[in-house]
A and B are shown apart, each in its own frame.
Chain A
Amino acid sequence: MTLALFLLLAGASVIGTLVPQNLSPEEYLRMYGAVAARLLDFLGITDLFHSWWFLALLGALVVHITACSMKRLPATWKALMAPQRPLSNALFRSLPVRMVMEGERASQIVEALKNALVQAGWKPTEEKVGQEVHFLAQRGRWSRLGAYVAHTGVLLVLLGAALGFAFGFKGFVQIQEGEGVDKIQERGGKGWRQLGFQVRCDRFQVTTYPDGTPKEYRSDLVFLKDGKVVLEGPLRVNHPISFGGYVFYQASYGASATVTLEASKDSSMEPRRLVMEPGDTVSLDPQGRVLVRFLKYEPDLQGRGPAVLLSHLKTDGPPVTGWVFQRDSKAVLEGWRLRLLEARENRWTGLQVKQDPGVWVVWVGCFLIMVGCAMAFLGAHRRLWVRVEPRKNKVMCWVAGSSTRDLPGLTKAVEGLCKAWQTKAGLRFMGKEGKNG
């Protein structure tokens, strides 16, 4: 079930990267043809990551994680809290790491063994069973909870994302240099949001490195409430500004312009001057026969200076577009020579605006994933049992251990401990099998 969910999510994500997402219906029609485009739309593949079935898969993941964790937690908790019993012969034989040692009976030997244990970093508790002395120690038992911590993290990330999806706001706004706005258009064309305050852009600036690569995009913003300045500062990429419950990000920029075009026909006629703003349609001749629309302004097109993109609206066919330059203009339209006389630039800055009540839940979830991974992959619940048994004129020492992870590591630790006993208490190695004879 777990593996099936992982593979389904991964497979769906692969499709989501192969089919471009959130294009217009016309583009899907052009790319895939009528039948396939309808199928993609029907299956929600054009916006796969927000389709009902992808969200249902995520929902199934949430249910699955919760159910599995609740099923397993009691057993884990029991294993974690279970008291360590003294080492019996049966228990000794069942443990993965074990060693038997033997030494001469001496007065301080139990103390010496215990000191070596403490020096190796264990915190042993001592128990006496008849003549026998037992040392019991464990460490890292909380690492058993690592998987639960990490899975709680995954659930929190999904919860935070759901909160943002349900109650968050994402919008975009263009502000002309020197102007202000008090409402923002919500992304996805869902209407406008009144901010309750005003944002003004006093200046937008691009600085570049000597090779022309952009170095900084910067909008000098002023936030006003009831006409009074509350906050001002530069907005740069990677340095968002929070104000009034919203966060503002530097996202894009551009320029529009009020342009003056000169249109001349022949020497008998005075050249005509046309003043236009983007989107305007004017006629070149006084009779209204040659109609042009101002589509776009570029401050510097291909290094040839300012230019204006015009569209010639024809009555007998599709419109024809072309650029008109300020310098060396060669544009001619129905006998009219066109030249860009003057352009008054209006630069604008594009701001991404968001409000996300779930983002902190996501970060807490991420933190838990990291902590959980560290607990599960770095930690291990290691348990150590030691039994010291005085015999007639010698002393037998059984040591055994178990670990939830990294048995070779525990084996090394036990070997190190036994070596310390060898040098400090004079014990000898007797092998791994304890003969209780």
Chain B
Amino acid sequence: MDSATLLSAVSLVYLGSWFGYVVYATSRSIWVGRLATGLLASAWFLNGAGFVMRWMESHQLGHGRIPLTNQYESMVVFSWAIALIYLVIELRYRNRIIGAFVAPLPFLGLGLGSLLFDTNIRPLVPALQSNWLTAHVITCFLGYAAFAVSFGVSLLYIVRGKLSPGGALGGLIPSEDFLDHLNYRAVATGFPFLSVGIITGAIWADVAWGTYWSWDPKETWSLITWLVYAAFLHARLSRGWSGRRTAILSIAGFGATLFTYFGVNFLLSGLHSYA
């Protein structure tokens, strides 16, 4: 079995864990909850194993390189990073309900990645042959993943506000304070990662192209994303914004993140055409 087959199978394990979290959210059966966590943890482990396999396969093809260099490979890392950040949160806060809203993201990432993009292993073009590749891609996608979690949590916050307080679903969703706190924590985690991602990208661009910033669409959109989350942090820390308003900023920020990730590549043209 090759890594691409393994990884598309892993997307089904993610799907299974999502199903488990939804059943847990409605039934509150502790065993179903543990099963869902177990499935997500195994999917995360296999996702990482698929990544390593792909790395080894590239070596067998004679042009070994870390698999972080195109749309498909970035989706593999994105899904892995979302699952990782979610698992850390679940472990830390001992709360599984969020899983029903976050587990679909790695499923969609890995599933759509396998379906839509070229899964062949291609050798590295000269511009990508750099030690900055790993640091740049990993930090960017850890940032994106933290923002994905903050998006899921903010969506949940908005949905909760729309429900009647005594309704059947109202009791299932964690308290507004908890969601608000989690939203802040996720953004405060993602923002430094995105900053480091942009900085390593700038250093690399300086080494490869002789200019650390050229207002390329990818660069510009990463800056726009950075500005939205900077606005989030300033609004919260020095203006005392919280709740609904920061949830909306968080949703807008993830919109900018997705556009930086996909929109720029499919709708605009620029130097950063790999992923």
Q: Which residues of A contact B (CB under 8 A)?
A: 2-3, 6-7, 9-10, 13-14, 16-18, 21, 49, 161, 170, 209-211, 213-217, 236-240, 247, 249-251, 352-354, 359, 362-363, 366, 369-370, 373-374, 377
Contacts and interface: CB of A to CB of B under 8 A. Distances in A.
B192 to A, nearest CB: 4
The 4 tightest CB contacts between A and B, nearest first, are A237-B126, A249-B210, A6-B231, A373-B192
A89 to B, nearest CB: 29
B195 A249 contact: no
A21 B215 contact: yes
Interface residues on B, range: 35 or more
Nearest to A7: B231
Interface in B198-222: 199, 202-203, 206-213, 215, 217, 220-221
A363 B196 CA distance: 12
Contact of B129 (A211, A238, A251): A238
Contacts of B127: 237-238
Contact of B126 (A10, A161, A236): A236
Nearest to B268: A17
Given A359-B206, A373-B195, A217 B221 contact: no
Contacts of A211: 122-123
A354 B188 contact: no
7 contacts: A7-B227, A14-B224, A209-B123, A213-B125, A238-B126, A238-B127, A377-B188
B239 interface: yes
A352 B217 CA distance: 21
Contact of B209 (A216, A352, A359, A369): A352
Contacts of A370: 192, 195-196, 199
B221 A363 contact: no
B129 A362 contact: no
Nearest to A378: B192
Interface of B: 62-63, 122-123, 125-127, 129-130, 188-189, 191-192, 195-196, 199, 202-203, 206-213, 215, 217, 220-221, 223-224, 227-228, 230-231, 234-235, 238-239, 256, 264, 268
Given A366-B199, A373-B195, A217 B234 contact: no
A10 B125 contact: no
B126 A215 contact: yes
A352 B203 CA distance: 16
B136 to A, nearest CB: 13
Contact of B213 (A17, A161, A209, A237): A161
B224 A13 contact: yes
A16 B228 contact: no
Given A352-B210, A359-B206, A369-B199, A238 B130 contact: yes
A249 B209 contact: yes
Contact of A16 (B122, B220, B234): B220
A377 B126 contact: no
A3 B227 CA distance: 9
A51 to B, nearest CB: 12
Contacts of B63: 209, 215
B211 A6 contact: no
A217 B209 CA distance: 13
Given A359-B212, A369-B195, A6 B129 contact: no
Most buried by B among A18, A247, A373: A373
